[in-house]
Amino acid sequence: MGKTIVITGVTKGLGRALAEWFIAHGHTVAGCGRSAEILDLRFTHPAPHDFAVVDVTEENKVAIWVEKVTGVVGVPDILINNAALMNNPAPLWQVPAAEFNKLIDVNIKGVATVIRHFVPHMVKRGSGVIVNFSSGWGRGTSPEVAPYCASKFAIEGLTKALAQELPPGLAAVPLNPGVIDTAMLRQCWSAEADNYPKADAWAKVAAPFILGLGPKDNGQSLSVPEFAD
């Protein structure tokens, strides 16, 4: 039986690749993104799927979106917090405050906002998996990406604490997707991005792996097999 899956940051990269795979394999997907590319998803994947322009940093808009999704598409079986920003590589003291703040707003606060509105519905139903995308830079560090590292270390802690709070039947997992050739990777390593797998190839492994997550995995720091960095 198909699952209902919600994905943030669905217009491109890993989110888009996951959405396309899940839909092709009989699952229902609701997603949000900040760009007009969401219109393409609406056109190519009409109802029962649902795609909306939503900035996860805007509390009121997230609340409205969640009420629409849960009312029309249903309570998600899997909630994937994928939306994130990368800082332009630079020593921490050279990263502008506005850039740092925006990254934290999306990568940490945005995840918390989406959880705040979706998870009560999942708790009420008594089942569901929350997958918060972490990173190799949430478990280790590199120079010139300190803001991103900070945000993903935070996701690890946030998710593990959430896992301790959830009732039986639910699970929260910080998932390291691995190093994939996306626009975010090219922002950091433009010259080397071609050496890494494309998002579509990654999704063929990542999507089935995510579908297999459940209460047994609650609170575990996991990585997509074959792609761990």
Q: Catalytic residues, which ones?
A: 148
For strand 4-8 and strand 170-176, is the pairing parallel, antiparallel, or unpaired? Answer: unpaired
Q: Is the peptide bond before 48 cis (omega within 30 degrees of 0)?
A: yes
Q: Listing from the earlier edge strand, what are the strands of the sheet with 170-176?
A: 50-53, 28-33, 4-8, 78-81, 128-133, 170-176, 222-223
Largest distance between two CA atoms of the chain: 51
**H helices within the chain, ranges in order?**
13-24, 38-44, 59-72, 97-104, 111-125, 146-165, 183-189, 199-211
Residue 55 identity: D
Across the chain, how many H-helices and E-strands are there? 8, 7
Assess contact for 222 and 135: CB atoms under 8 A. no
Residue 199 identity: A
